[in-house]
Structure 1
Amino acid sequence: MTKTPYAAPATTRPARWATLALTGAALVSVTVGAVLPASAAEPQRARVHGTVRGHQTVDTVALTALMEPGPMASGTMVRVGGTGHARTRATGPLSQDPAANFRIGSITKLFTSALVLQLVGEGRFTLDTPVQELLPGTLPAHWEPITVGQLLSHTSGLQKPCVDFGQGETPTPEQVVSHWTDPKCAAPQYPVLAQQYNGANYFLLGMVVEKTTGRSYADEVQRRIARPLGLRHTYVPGPGDRTVPGPALTESGEIEPWAWAEGGMISNAPDLERFMTNLLRGRLLKPAQQRQLFVMPALSVGAEDRFSMGGLLRNEIDGTVVWGKTGSMGPSTSGVFATEAGRRTVVYSLLPASRDRELMRKHLTALVGAAL
């Protein structure tokens, strides 16, 4: 069975740099009763639906049951949007403000992907351009060429790091990449035989954005995405900035090191909904790059987490194709998903209470399924 997105709370994980491949898993369809105790799952028998321009609205009974504080999560925020519909609700120790900010973790990768595909559309480089040409000296000279397209689609062959950063250290992107390329660590295996999710791919892409444009990654996010779309709560915090401006989803526990273009951004549910809708409707990319967003590489077949050439996570829930991304930062886990052309969107953020990864994956799948 394909895995559902979940990353364990920070207190149960080793250093982030050694575990990035665990975030962003795929979605599968499960029933609420397979996740929650019978008392919580019981309301699903009375499913409540309406229609919005031919699309079902939220399964409010099932969604409410899944959001109640309990064995899976101590607090949950869900925003459902799309054609003619928007609703936000939060339970437990989370802000009830629909504009509450939170750290979006690896959802950041979708912003990085959009920037890179915009630069491809401008002719700055192609998906087949080796990153070694764009970032000379960053990767070991004896490595085989790794293309921009391979980084976007997690087919680069980059392996997990074997070196950890010191406690409290705020590394530069170059230092992060150096931990993946340390001679003591495993080199990429050629030929690459499978898609393998790896945050190092997106640190390299962030460096490509800066090298190509001559501007900081944070500035390019604002200039190319946040300001044009009116995303007033979306930005890249600077190194060492672990604050979340209010109103904010209430979190506890230590915020992990600066994750930059791989997973460091702050946003809120309305902004993520707007970004995802505009991305899927082709308002950020030229037609050729828009098509690339949805191309599934051959190496994604059979992979636990299936990512497109544009870095979108793809799967089906009850026969409906959904595209999106999950992310984790500190004690929370979040996600944004949408159906074709953003006709229905769901953004969630929650504080996991369970340390059982498989149950949490199923819980998140049921949560997204009820909202779609």
Structure 2
Amino acid sequence: MRKRTRTTAALAVTAVVTAALGVPSAVAAHPARCVLEPSVPTTLPTLSATKLSAAIGDVPGGLPDAEASGALAQIRGTAGCWQGTAGIGDIRTGGDVPQNGKFRIGSMTKVFTAVVALQLVAEGRLDLDKTVQEYLPGFLPADYLPITVRQVLNYTSGLNGVGVPHKTPAWFFEHRYDHWADGSQLDVTKPLAFAPGEYQRYGNADYWMAGLLIQKVTGHAWEREVHDRIIEPLRLRGTSTPVDSSRIPGPYSHGYEVTKDGWVDVSSANPSLQWSAAAIISTPEDLDRFMVALFDGKLVPPAQLDLMFTVPPGTTTFDGDKDPANNPPAAYGMGLGSFQIGSLTVWGKTGDRPGYANGMGATRDLSRRLVFSVNTLHMGGDQPVRARQIIGAAFS
């Protein structure tokens, strides 16, 4: 059962954590001057306002287009600063896309969940080498091989999620307001996809399990732990864990789906299916603040932070066929992913929900940081071209 009442002890912990973090200064999220030129010498490519405006679609013939209704991007760091929006944020009012508007961050939620889990590891309340079966006896079938907490957090558990087509219009429109109980998103009637630790397979299943583990060892809802350990200490005023609320509170760019009857608003939906893997709502400024605190080691101690930036050695990505020789190399640490853009390595996370395709990423030294959201008009599918253009203009 989810506990909503905060105790005095929980508030005291939040106060202590806030003080210890030394909340990043407002300058990180609200620079006094946002200029393209680097503030210190850098080897990173110089930002081009012309290229960035074209990438985001803020040009004649840009957004809206057949792929997206709107987009926003924010770049911060000592290697240059830029921000912009394009397209339409609300077809009912004709409103623009708000620069710091809220959006459903989708699988970027996993980074928040990984932070909470690794804080619990640092506190000695979770053990990476203990098994799910030890923490949650009876939850998994007796014939499952042991699955460690480490394997859950680095996507190598082999667990399966329920196979609902939640990114297809027909399923979404029929089920968008359904409630899912915590843990019901996992399908434990199927055998494991592979022996735990054998491969890496990115997906929601591991992070639904991580949510259950967090709740088990703390006795609190996943939402409360994310709030008390991250949202409140960092003062992320635009970030929320909405539980069953289907609305996005505050200014936001609406997401739409193209149908035979025109654009249909898909912004409103119950996020309980996504839960600890993909349910959070946030803003560009909040996500940038979160990245700065995380990469700077203000959220997770060094030993645990290292695990977020470490891809399991010798592991390949499970591609579902019977030939391991053609598997791509693994690309994820705990929560975070490693993305190669030319010769540059960027660490971060992408995420999508109907109407939203987003990403946050940064160089390890934080000298260039990007947060973006594209309002897609066709749910599911590959990363939109617009998103790839924004990433390319920011980092290459």
Q: Same fold (TM over 0.5)?
A: yes
- 1:181 equivalent among 188, 195, 200: 188
Aligned to 1:330: 354
CA distance in 2, matches of 1:208, 1:117: 11
SS in 1 for 2:99: coil
Q: How far does residue 357 in structure 1 lie from its aligned partner after superposition?
A: 4.8
- Aligned letter for 1:364? A
CA distance in 1, matches of 2:231, 2:160: 32
CA distance in 2, matches of 1:304, 1:76: 31
- 1:248 equivalent among 249, 252, 276: 252
- 2:38 equivalent among 51, 59, 66: 51
Q: Relative to 1, partners in 2 of residues 1:158 and 1:85: Cα closer, same or farther, differing over 3 Å?
A: same
Is 1:107 matched with 2:105? no
Aligned to 1:170: 179
Q: TM-score, normalised by structure 1?
A: 0.78
CA distance in 1, matches of 2:290, 2:215: 21
Aligned to 2:278: 263
Q: Relative to 1, partners in 2 of residues 1:316 and 1:92: Cα closer, same or farther, differing over 3 Å?
A: same
Aligned to 2:144: 143
CA distance in 1, matches of 2:163, 2:79: 49
- 2:234 equivalent among 213, 219, 229: 229
Q: How far does residue 352 in structure 1 lie from its aligned partner after superposition?
A: 2.4
**Equivalent residues in 2 for 1:256-295 (5 A)?**
257-258=271-272, 259-295=274-310
Is the CA contact (8 Å cut-off) linking 1:155 and 1:299 kept in structure 2? no
Q: How far does residue 101 in structure 1 lie from its aligned partner after superposition?
A: 1.0
SS in 2 for 1:114: helix
Is the CA contact (8 Å cut-off) linking 2:36 and 2:80 kept in structure 1? no
Deviations 1:231-274 (A, max 9, x none): 111110022x1101121122233336421111001110000011
Is the CA contact (8 Å cut-off) linking 2:292 and 2:366 kept in structure 1? yes
CA distance in 1, matches of 2:391, 2:219: 39
Q: Relative to 1, partners in 2 of residues 1:287 and 1:64: Cα closer, same or farther, differing over 3 Å?
A: same
Q: How far does residue 215 in structure 1 lie from its aligned partner after superposition?
A: 1.4
- 2:342 equivalent among 292, 296, 318: 318
Is 1:92 matched with 2:87? yes
- 1:76 equivalent among 67, 71, 80: 71
**Higher normalized contact order (CA 8 Å, seq sep 6+, divided by chain length):** 1
Q: TM-score, normalised by structure 2?
A: 0.74
Deviations 1:10-50 (A, max 9, x none): xxxxxxxxxxxxxxxxxxxxxxxxxxxxxxxxxxxxxx973
Which has the higher mean CA deviation after the structures are superposed, 203-212 or 97-106?
97-106
Is the CA contact (8 Å cut-off) linking 1:98 and 1:270 kept in structure 2? no
Structure with max Cα Rg: 2
CA distance in 2, matches of 1:338, 1:114: 17
- Aligned letter for 2:387? L
SS in 2 for 1:54: coil
SS in 1 for 2:185: helix
Structure 1 gap ranges (5+): 1-47
Count the aligned residue pairs. 319
Q: How far does residue 194 in structure 1 lie from its aligned partner after superposition?
A: 2.3
Q: How far does residue 67 in structure 1 lie from its aligned partner after superposition?
A: 1.3
Q: Relative to 1, partners in 2 of residues 1:247 and 1:164: Cα closer, same or farther, differing over 3 Å?
A: closer
SS in 1 for 2:293: helix
Aligned to 2:262: none
Q: Relative to 1, partners in 2 of residues 1:267 and 1:354: Cα closer, same or farther, differing over 3 Å?
A: closer
Q: How far does residue 279 in structure 1 lie from its aligned partner after superposition?
A: 0.7
- Aligned letter for 1:284? L
Is the CA contact (8 Å cut-off) linking 2:316 and 2:329 kept in structure 1? no
SS in 2 for 1:229: coil
- 2:210 equivalent among 197, 205, 208: 205
**Equivalent residues in 2 for 1:288-307 (5 A)?**
288-298=303-313, 300-301=315-316, 304=328, 306-307=330-331
Deviations 1:108-146 (A, max 9, x none): 000000000101111112221111111122111210111
CA distance in 2, matches of 1:92, 1:361: 15
SS in 2 for 1:51: coil
Structure 2 gap ranges (5+): 1-34, 58-62, 90-95, 167-173, 257-264, 318-326
Q: How far does residue 153 in structure 1 lie from its aligned partner after superposition?
A: 1.1
Q: Relative to 1, partners in 2 of residues 1:54 and 1:361: Cα closer, same or farther, differing over 3 Å?
A: farther
Q: Relative to 1, partners in 2 of residues 1:327 and 1:222: Cα closer, same or farther, differing over 3 Å?
A: same
